[in-house]
Amino acid sequence: MALVDIPLFIIDHSGSILGVIALSFAIFLLQQTEWSKKYGSIVGFKIGPQNAVVLSDYRHVKELFDKRGGIYSGRPEQYAGQQIICPDNIHMLLAQYGPTWRLMRKAMQGLLNINAIDALHPIQLAEATQTMSHLLDDPEGYYDHIRRYSTSVILASVYSQRGESFQSPKVQNLYNSQYRFSRILEPGATPPVDAFPFLRRLPEFLSPWRTEAKEIRQIQSSLYFNLVKETKERRSKHDLEPCFIEKLLDDQEKNGLNDAQIAYLGGTSMEAGSDTTSAALLTFVLAMTQHPESLKALQAELDRVCGTDRSPNFDDLDQLKYTRACMNEVLRWRPVAPAAVPHMLTQDDTYEGYVLPKGTIVFINAWAIHMNESEYDEPEKFMPERFMGNKFGCKNQDDSDDHRRITYNFGAGRRVCPGQRLAENSVLLNMAKMAWLFDILPISSEPIDTSIRTAFTDGVLIAPHKFPVRFVPRSEQRINVIQGDLERAKKFFARYKE
Binding residues: 417
| Collapsed DSSP state (helix, strand, coil) of residue 472 | strand
Q: How far apart are CA 180 and CA 172, in angstroms?
A: 12
- Taking a C-beta distance cutoff of 8 angstroms, is the pair 317, 428 a contact? yes
- Taking a C-beta distance cutoff of 8 angstroms, is the pair 252, 220 a contact? no
Q: How far apart are CA 166 and CA 180, in angstroms?
A: 18
DSSP 66: I
Element (H, E) at 490: helix 476-493
Where is the binding site for heme, in residues?
A: 417
Q: How far apart are CA 310 and CA 289, in angstroms?
A: 24
* Side-chain-side CA neighbours of residue 80 (13 Å): 26
CA triplet 175, 180, 185: central angle to 5 degrees?
125
H helices of 307-445, where? Answer: 321-333, 366-370, 420-437
Q: Alpha-carbon dihedral of residues 371, 372, 378, 383, nearest 10 degrees?
A: -50
Q: How far apart are CA 163 and CA 345, in angstroms?
A: 40
- Taking a C-beta distance cutoff of 8 angstroms, is the pair 444, 295 a contact? no
| Collapsed DSSP state (helix, strand, coil) of residue 427 | helix
Kindly report the backbone phi and psi dihedral angles of residue 456, in degrees, each rounded to the nearest multiple of 5, phi listed first: -120, 155
Dihedral sign for Cα 339, 405, 343, 212, please. Answer: positive
